[in-house]
Amino acid sequence: MLAEVVGRVLGTDDATPLEFWVAVAPGHHLQLDDIVAVDRVLPTGETISVYGIVSQVRARHEGARFDSDVFLIADGVLPAETVEAAQVQVTRVVPETFVPPLPGTEVRRAVADERDEALDLTDVERRVPAGLTRDGQPVVLDLDFLDGTKGAHVNISGISGVATKTSYATFLLYSLFHSGVLGAAATNTKGLIFNVKGEDLLFLDHANSRLDDESRARYAQLGLPVGPFRSMRILAPPRKGDPNGTPATGARTTGVRPLYWTIAEFCRDGLLPFLFADAEDERQQYTIVVQAVTAQLQQHARASDTRDGAVRIDGTTVRTFRELLRVIESKLVPDDPDDEPDPRWSGRAVSRGTISAFVRRLAAAERHVEHLIRADLPDAAAHSIDLDAQQITVVDLHLLHDRAKRFVVGVVLRQAFEAKEAAGTALPLQFVVLDELNKYAPRDSSSPIKEILLDVAERGRSLGMILIGAQQTASEVERRIVANCAVRVVGRLDTAEAGREQYGFLPPVQRQRATILKPGSMFVSQPRLPVPVLLEFPFPAWATRASEAAPPGAPGAAGGDGAARTDGPVDDPFAGLS
């Protein structure tokens, strides 16, 4: 295929080994994100190929001296030439002899094999479809930088409701599971998704009835099948006050299992610290009391017959969180004000003020978590949280208070991490999708959840636990977590946030463009390329709300005739997605 010559290297602007300008030839055009190539022949006779991405385009009148000359030129009174020029950021030099391209050298559009050379894809054997460029060409990620071989973890930033962070995270997961890149290992690979807001992630196993033919064609361009996630389980907290523990999920009523921990599990596994996991707890300085009470609860759980999920503490059988709270309070706050708290429960040299603050904080958590920690349900003894039963496990948190959300996220993450540690092998992989990282791993405070997320970020690569994290503001997330992410993704950014140092991997033009990105468009940075690539990803093939869920056997649903159905024209298919 003969490459299209689009211009020549400009001689009036400096050309460097990392950046140069191209004068666009008459009858041709270059736009942002186009990929180009130029050759240079060295004095030794060796030919160097320089590849790059267009990062800026300008147009000007040659011959004009004053702003008002534009009117004279338009009227034909003043002679001038209209010239377009494009700035190119170099992505690769093959072979790696870093010399600038010479002025006047022909510049061609990179297509086919040259496009792969420009994006450093020629040696990538395991390709994960990541999206499409604006001209409809596939962009892929190197699985080596996702599965821990050379790197791991993905971080996604962007404004809530506009940047479509969660939608892109689930698209990446879908691509990993359905592109064939994982081979036979895909069967045992697991995904753990935390649904922290709305019901967007509760219908992943339903086809999207709004998917149109254009969106289907985009999946075909990426080599992906069209359909929902095939193997999924939803875990949701029980309804408050429901004696049967019926899950509370809103519109989703089938295929949901209750999410709770028995009193025995809470005590035996030392889960109390996860109730003290926000900034206010860090300021109160009652860590010693938390540790002492946790140790006592563990001791009594080990000494009890816990087959019914309850715990016996000094002759008292505890089946509810309220009863547990009363027992703890009795140990720390004696009925007689002159008596001292039991030092085994309070820790030594702890003031009454600190103990009182701990008790008040624990009491305040009661109404938010009592339906999550209980042994009063009929099947409590047989209850367990299995994160491996299906390929995808969605943990629904959207109806919980923030404190309860922190508790669930921390406990479930710890269970998953300890299971990977105990397995002793990285395979099968487990991908964890968590939004609102700035809440669970804030930059300027510490908590048990943050420590687990740090472990996942720093050790998860070797354990086969991969984090796909998202947040509105990367500047508010623990630096080490973001720094350990091999793949960085940016959607629409707030103008002030775009200027933060955390986005230094975006060149100035890309930072400016990030503030005006439309939903469904993302800048993706991966270690193989020094320049982020702008891509668009297809509208979800799975339902993101109850109104989109196609029933089994219906047109457009799994098992149906495959025809797309919509409720009329959709101006912005990503409207309402987060």
Quickly list DSSP for 506-556.
S-HHHHHHHTTPPTTEEEEE-TT-SS-EEEE-PPPSB-SSGGGBPPTTSTT
Phi, psi of 204 (to 5 degrees): -65, -25
131-158: b or e for each residue (b if 16 or more CB lie within 10 Å)?
bbbeeeebbbbbbbbbbbeebbbbbbbb
- Cα 4 to Cα 1, 25, 37, 124, 395: the distances in Å are 9, 11, 10, 26, 51
Closest by CA to 529, choosing from 39, 137, 97, 51, is: 51
DSSP string computed for 275-290: GS-SHHHHHHT-HHHH
Q: Which residues contact 27 (CB under 8 A, 6 or more apart)?
A: none
Q: pTM of the predicted model, to two decimals?
A: 0.86
DSSP state of 129: E
**Helix, strand, or coil (residue 53):** strand
Give dist(CA 557, CA 576) in Å, integer.
21
Report the DSSP beta bridge partners of residue 191.
392, 431
| Secondary structure letter of residue 318 according to DSSP | E
Closest to 223 measured CA to CA, from 189, 175, 167, 186? 175
**CA dihedral sign, ordered 309, 313, 317, 323:** negative
Q: What is the pLDDT of residue 254?
A: 83
What are residue 20's DSSP bridge partners? 88
Residue 571's pLDDT is what? 44
Q: What is the pLDDT of residue 562?
A: 35
Provide Rg for the chain, Cα atoms: 29
Report the alpha-carbon distance of residue 211 to residue 226 in Å, rounded.
9
Using CB atoms within 10 Å of the CB of residue 287, give its burial: 0 to 12 exposed, 13 to 18 middle, 19+ buried.
middle
Distances from the Cα of 272 to the Cα of 237, 345, 373, 406, angstroms: 18, 13, 11, 12
Give dist(CA 405, CA 164) in Å, integer.
22
Dihedral (Cα; 546, 550, 551, 554), 10-degree rounding? 160
From the first residue on, what is the mean pLDDT of each consecutive set of 10 residues in the chain (578 residues)?
85 94 94 93 94 93 90 90 94 93 95 89 90 89 93 93 84 94 92 90 92 93 93 91 84 87 93 81 72 92 85 90 92 79 83 87 92 84 78 93 93 94 90 93 88 93 94 92 94 91 89 90 91 92 88 49 35 49
Q: What is the distance between the alpha carbons of residues 544 and 553, in angstroms, rounded to a whole number?
A: 19
Residue 509 corresponds to which tokens in the numbers above? 């033009």
Mention every residue, 6+ apart, whose C-beta is less than 8 A from residue 343.
Answer: none
Separation CA 77–CA 68 (nearest Å):
12
Task: Give the whole-angstrom CA distance, residue 544 versus residue 554.
Answer: 17
Cis peptide before 428 (omega within 30 of 0): yes
pLDDT at 136: 86
Phi, psi of 37 (to 5 degrees): -140, 150
Q: For residue 310, which of 293, 297, 296 has the smallest C-alpha distance?
A: 297
Judge contact between 357 and 289, C-beta under 8 A: no
Closest C-alpha to 494, from 99, 159, 98: 159
CA distances from 422 to 56, 149, 186, 415, 538 (A): 51, 20, 21, 11, 38
Is the distance from CB of 308 to CB of 380 less than 8 angstroms?
yes
Rounded to whole angstroms, the Cα distance separating 239 from 15 reads 66
What pLDDT is recorded for position 379?
Answer: 74
